[in-house]
Amino acid sequence: MHLPRVLAAAAALISSTVLAQNVSTYHNPIITGFHPDPTCTFVAELNNTFFCTFSSFLTFPGLPIYASRDLINWKLISNGLNRAEQLPALGLLPRGSTSGIYAPTLRYRDGKFYILTTLANQALYGTNYTRFDNFILTTTNIYQSSHWSDPVRFDFPGIDPSPFWDDNGTTYMTGSYNGIEILQAPIDLDTGELLGPLVDIWNGTGLPSPEAPHIYKKDGWYYLLTAEGGTRERHRSNVARSKNIFGPYEGDPANPVLSTYLSPSYFQAVGHSDIFTDALGQYWAIALAVRAGYSYNFDPYNSLFPMGREAVLTPVKWATGDWPRYQNVSGIMTGDFVLPQHPDPSTVPMEGEGVLSESNDVIDFPPNSSLPSHLFHWRLPVTKNYAVSPPGHSNTLRLGSSVLNLTSFDADSTRGAGQTFLARRQAHSLFRFSVDVEYDGLLTREGEEVGVTALQDQAQHFDISVAMLIPNGTDGPVQPHIRFRGISTTSYRLPSRFKYVDEAWALPDELRGQQVRLQVEAVNTTHYAFSAGLGGAVVNNTLGVFGWARGNYLVPYYSGVVVGAYATSNGRYGESAFETYISRWRYTGIEQVIELPADQQPIYWD
């Protein structure tokens, strides 16, 4: 089910002062859940289609590409990063939630798509610029993951690279350096060679971290759009312009052009935008926002925004010779704009490999199928640990266990070893996710565990599983248990606010020898419930709740909550110590909350 999002599209109004206005309405976020640092481009010659991509940090596949023709319904069509050989270093990254694929820019030029992006390794020293591996991916067939190229490196000691093609054929790369300067140089996008020195063109308006630069040329001006203020509450978009591409640039007196800082909006941290046009000549901006509410301004790591940084759309009015003027971002967007077509899921391209961005999952791992392209691993997978419908086990996914659990060694790094983990984004404020697992005769030794999780990163996840444990107060033997376990140790919080839970119950008699259904559900805007019950063919089983986790125990740095299934031997017995079969993967979106709930309780710690 794709939840209805558009209240009324293109209703005409007559007023005494304006002749006729096109008043339209749609809902934000436009692409929900973990979709930070958006970048979009409009391609008229490919049937008036909009294409976007996002930072994907540690997920693999990564750099998901979405396409739309109505700006409302978005389909995943390919993953720019889809082969381990493209980027082996992704498997080795430490600093789990702050390293990985950073702010890409997606552009189209002469039949070819370009992504410029950075693989960041934030564990290296700030002055060691090898921590930023900058590269270009290209494709002439954006609808097939396998057509995305291998990376072409370019030498840039910063992040957020963006290409710009000037009228006379010169191509430039503009990026963010050191959290202080926007640097720019001409570049050969085929070879990655910089064709001139990096020139500092803008230092921002005085706030930290001018970044995410994009250059647009209009009416003889070069417009430089940047994000500024850091990634949290002071995040915003600023504009500057110059008649010369290398500056000097003058800032828009009305900066920030987009911000929610200190506003009462449910949508906070709005910024990091990218402007594009449509076939009607209207301008639009895609930006990031978090659904967190006013309290975020004062205590950003104690707010409820487990879905992380999501993508919002806003109309931009850009008169000749004037600065771009953004409409403020909110959950219900109404204004004098025209959606490119009447919103309808059937307008998304037929081509492409994925599903609509807010689709439910009904995944039964049929024989000879591959894993759906919106499912992903955390860093690079050990491929032998995954098999769809192996012989004798139709409609299952066989998981070979990893030595590491979701916390890994240190909640930060896997040192190149894999974690057996398959996940998807939490795409709705309220949702239900479940998987059936098999343990009987498969999990035999102490610590062997198969479960489901709500995971923000390795240091913040809550899991419910079937685990083999020695009953307390006995010397054994091991028995199957329902285990509810989790940690929340984000370094942005005082250790006194760290959370640990580890509870276990002997597997209820009625589940012995059976498939066990494990479920994570966001029951309201503050709490996740973790349940277990009978799996298998029976539908609508009653599940028992074994644990709760609050949303503010899963606070994002840069990403957002993902839900998925894992298999681990918790540090023992070696790789693939056991095999288990998961089946009946279900995700059901229940509700998008787009305004701060009136009954929202103050966020508390206990």
Ligand X SMILES: *[C@@H]1O[C@H](CO)[C@@H](O)[C@H](O)[C@H]1NC(C)=O
Task: Give the CB-side neighbour count of residue 413, counting CA atoms within 13 A.
Answer: 10
Nearest distance from C-beta of residue 599 to ligand X, angstroms? 6
Q: From CA 311, how far away is CA 358, in angstroms rounded?
A: 13
Residue 565's alpha-carbon distances to 89, 360, 515, in angstroms, are: 24, 16, 14
User: Stretches 14-22, 133-141, 210-218, 553-561: which one binds ligand X (CB under 6 A)?
Assistant: 14-22
Asked if residue 134 binds ligand X (CB under 6 A), the reply is no
Q: Restricting to residues 100-129, which ones interact with ligand X according to CB under 6 A?
A: 124-125, 128
Is residue 265 within 8 Å of 296, Cβ to Cβ? no
Selected from 25, 205, 328, 491, the binder of ligand X by CB under 6 A is: 328
With CB under 6 A as the contact rule, the residue among 25, 144, 242, 263 that binds ligand X is 263
**Minimum CB distance to ligand X, residue 65 (Å):** 17
Between CA 41 and CA 274 the distance in angstroms is 9
Q: Note whether 69 binds ligand X by CB under 6 A.
A: yes
Per CB under 6 A, contacts with ligand X among 407-426 are: 407
- Count of CB atoms situated within 10 Å of the CB of 346: 8
Helices (H), 284-397: none
Q: Taking CB positions, which residue lies at the least distance from ligand X?
A: 571
Whether 24 contacts 7, CB under 8 Å: no
Residue 469 interacts with ligand X (CB under 6 A): yes or no: yes
Q: Which of 15, 17, 168, 370 binds ligand X (CB under 6 A)?
A: 168
Q: Does 571 bind ligand X (CB under 6 A)?
A: yes
The answer to whether residue 236 forms part of the interface with ligand X (CB under 6 A) is: no
Per rule CB under 6 A, is residue 549 in the interface with ligand X?
no
Strand locations in 372-498 (E): 377-378, 386-388, 397-400, 421-425, 430-437, 449-457, 460-469, 479-488
Identify each DSSP E strand in 470-515 by its residue range.
479-488, 499-506
Q: What are phi and psi of 560, to 5 degrees?
A: 180, 165
**Residue 152 beta carbon to ligand X: minimum distance, rounded to whole angstroms:** 21
If one asks whether residue 189 binds ligand X (CB under 6 A), the answer comes out as no
In the block, tokens 């010779």 appear at 321
Contacting ligand X within 359-378 (CB under 6 A) = 367-368
Q: Does 47 contact ligand X by CB under 6 A?
A: yes
Number of residues binding to ligand X, judged by CB under 6 A:
51
Q: For residue 582, what is the enclosing H or E element?
A: strand 579-591
DSSP letter assigned to residue 11: E
Whose Cβ is closer to ligand X: residue 166's or residue 190's?
166
Paired with 462 in beta bridges are 454, 486
Choose the stretch contacting ligand X; rule: CB under 6 A; options: 98-106, 289-297, 414-422, 522-530. Answer: 522-530
Using the rule CB under 6 A, is 200 a contact of ligand X?
A: yes
Is residue 502 at the binding interface for ligand X, with CB under 6 A as the rule?
A: yes
CA-CA distance, 245 to 51, in Å (whole number)? 26
Residues annotated catalytic, as ranges: 37, 211
Q: Which residues lie near ligand X (CB under 6 A)?
A: 20-22, 47, 69, 124-125, 128, 130, 166, 168-170, 181, 200-203, 259-260, 263, 280, 328, 338, 341, 347, 367-368, 405, 407, 469, 471-472, 481, 485, 487, 502-504, 523-527, 539-540, 570-571, 599-601
